[in-house]
């Protein structure tokens, strides 16, 4: 069966059966044909569980990409992904400082952050991984956050 023949979930609330219960979503299939060909765009309804941002020198600056980037029609009641953002911390900074910096770039609150030290990279410089679930307030925000990069032109 060709991927193009799969029904595409409509935007908005899920369709209901005669008893008012949501109809099951069609299975999500990837449009890839072969390993050497372009994978194409994911089919409508494709979701993911984790995002790893593994460039510690700048990854935290790209958290603004999540603000308002999710479609309620696609995600519905599904769990939003967990972000694992690698970054650096100076010796004088606290974990709370790192979370606040992340919130500044994200443009929203980081709830229940988890931070683990990855390794010391230099005197007074530690690589960390900041992990958190994206909140609905951030994911489905009406307007996208203007990041510090956009304001400073960096």
Average predicted confidence (pLDDT) for the chain: 81
105, pLDDT greater than 80: yes
153, pLDDT greater than 60: no
Centre a 10 Å sphere on the Cβ of residue 36 and count the other Cβ atoms it contains: 5
Q: Can you tell me the distance from the alpha carbon of 50 to that of 107, in angstroms, rounded to the nearest whole number?
A: 19
* pLDDT recorded at residue 28: 54
Return the closest-CA partner of residue 143 out of 64, 46, 74: 64
Query: What is the model's pTM?
Result: 0.67
151, pLDDT greater than 70: no
Confidence of residue 11 (pLDDT cuts 50, 70, 90): low
137, pLDDT greater than 60: yes
* pLDDT recorded at residue 3: 44
* pLDDT recorded at residue 12: 62
* pLDDT recorded at residue 149: 47
* pLDDT recorded at residue 17: 85
Q: Please, are residues 62 and 69 in contact by the beta-carbon 8 Å criterion? A: no
Residue range 45-103, pLDDT digits in tens: 677 899 999 999 999 999 999 999 988 888 888 899 999 999 999 999 999 999 999 99
Number of residues written out for the chain:
154
């Amino acid at each position: 069966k060709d991927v193009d023949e799969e029904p595409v979930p409509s935007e908005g609330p899920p369709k209901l059966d005669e008893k008012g219960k949501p109809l099951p979503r069609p299975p999500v299939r990837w449009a890839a044909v072969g390993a050497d060909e372009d994978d194409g765009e994911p089919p409508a309804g494709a979701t993911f569980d984790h995002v790893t941002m593994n460039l510690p020198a700048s990854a935290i600056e790209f958290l603004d990409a999540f603000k308002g980037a999710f479609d309620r029609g696609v995600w519905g009641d599904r769990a939003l992904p967990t972000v694992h953002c690698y970054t650096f911390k100076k010796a004088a900074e606290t974990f709370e400082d790192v979370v606040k910096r992340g919130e500044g770039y994200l443009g929203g609150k980081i709830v229940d952050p988890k931070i683990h030290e990855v390794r010391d990279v230099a005197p007074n410089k530690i690589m960390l991984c900041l992990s958190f679930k994206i909140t609905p307030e951030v994911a489905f925000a009406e307007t996208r956050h203007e990041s510090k990069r956009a304001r400073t032109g960096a």
